[in-house]
Amino acid sequence: MAILVTGGAGYIGSHTVLRLLEQNYKVIVIDNYSNSSPESLKRVSEICNRSPIVQQGDICDRYFLRKIFESYPITDVIHFAGLKSVSESCVKPIEYYHNNVCGGMILLEEMQRYCVNRLIFSSSATVYGEPERVPLDELSKVGGTTNPYGTSKYIFERILEDVSIANPKMNITVLRYFNPVGAHQSGKIGEDPNGIPNNLIPFISQVAVGRLEYLSVFGNDYLTIDGTGVRDYIHVMDLADGHIAALENKKSNRRFNIYNLGTGVGHSVLEIIAAFERITKININYKIKERRAGDIAECWADPSLAEKELGWKALRSIDDMMRDSWSWQKKNPNGY
């Protein structure tokens, strides 16, 4: 039994590969390093004294995938590979649909060719679009996405559902992540965005380390606790554990499953700044700016289905998230 992890050198992938290796799974990673470095998996090996098999290549290259499926006894695929920037997706929609939808289709075709029937797919809370109400459970309305990235996730979820209906051997789990943050507690692996970060916590960390001058807080006139945007931040190690739980899911007898992976608690931008300052004792210089186009006011998960069926629940606190993000940033001020 071997697990193929696409995009396993990336942020969430590397933390999940670590957990898989710690659980004694045989792991094969494929990655084209378009948004990562081979260094992340070297660090994973340093942490756990085990190594995945790593092959550089692209999920859009079916001949590469065939070599992989022919070479290893793969039973399950965890599919992280894809492009993930909301803003970039508005500028490069074709690249986003090509990677996230066509790449996924090629992967599915080759899985079917080699009778590999179990797939876990990285989706996102962004498929819910503007929430009608919070918390969001898995039956909340989806669609209404406002950018090609979100739409690519929504389309691929639909494709997966249709495939699971048509092929009774397929077993597919869609995991909708809320806002992944933090890093492994060792500070050896973490999030290493290219250029200026889009996301809140990497941005705050880079202000703290002196790489950026100040944080722009995008809007303080939302109808939220303090006017700033509210999100469900989840520690990346809790997320990694969610993948192990999904892999070992025994309770659900459905062949197509969707689970929210979040904490069930929302935090505002100002609360996050305050938590970061409290944990690190560093003052974060920030300015209130205009709302960012496409942002929603608030969004958090109802994660109870994952707890009921997967026996999984996020355990790490906001303080853990801030401490571990900072430890990674401090030890690796310029990333990998």
Query: Shortest Cβ distance from residue 5 to ligand NAD (Å)?
Result: 10
How is 109-157 classified by DSSP, letter by letter?
Answer: HHHHHTT--EEEEEEEGGGG-S-SSSSB-TTS------SHHHHHHHHHH
Q: Which of 128, 149, 177, 233 is catalytic?
A: 149
Which 225-264 positions form the footprint of ligand UDP (CB under 6 A)?
Answer: 229, 231
- Indicate left, alpha or beta for 23 from its phi (over 0: left) and psi (-120 to 50: alpha): alpha
Provide the mask over 52-81, with x wherever binding to ligand UDP is found by CB under 6 A and - wherever it is not: ------------------------------
3-state secondary structure of 307: helix
Which residues ranging from 137 to 156 are in contact with ligand UDP (CB under 6 A)?
A: none
Q: Return the residue of 215, 234, 270, 273 that touches ligand UDP, per CB under 6 A.
A: 215
Chosen from ligand NAD, ligand UDP, none, partner binding at 59 (C-beta under 5 to 8 Å by type): ligand NAD
The answer to whether 219 and 228 have CB atoms below 8 angstroms apart is yes
> Cβ 124 to ligand UDP, closest distance in Å?
8
Contacts of 166 (CB under 8 A, 6+ apart): none
Distance in angstroms (rounded) separating the CA atoms of residues 172 and 85: 25
| Smallest distance from ligand NAD to CB 64, Å | 9
Site for ligand UDP in 292-311 (CB under 6 A): 292, 295
Asked about 149 being catalytic, the answer comes back as yes
CB of 295 to ligand UDP, least distance (A): 5
Sequence-distant (6+) residues with CB within 8 A of 316 are 182, 235, 237, 238
In terms of CB distance, is 124 or 140 closer to ligand NAD? 124
Residue 56 pairs in a beta bridge with 31
SS3 breakdown of the chain: % helix, strand, coil, rounded to 5?
40, 20, 40
CA distance 94 to 151: 12
Write the binding mask 173 to 212 for ligand UDP: x where contact by CB under 6 A, - elsewhere.
------x------------------xxx--x---------
Catalytic residues: 149
In the complex, the residues that contact ligand UDP under the rule CB under 6 A are 179, 198-200, 203, 215-218, 229, 231, 269, 292, 295
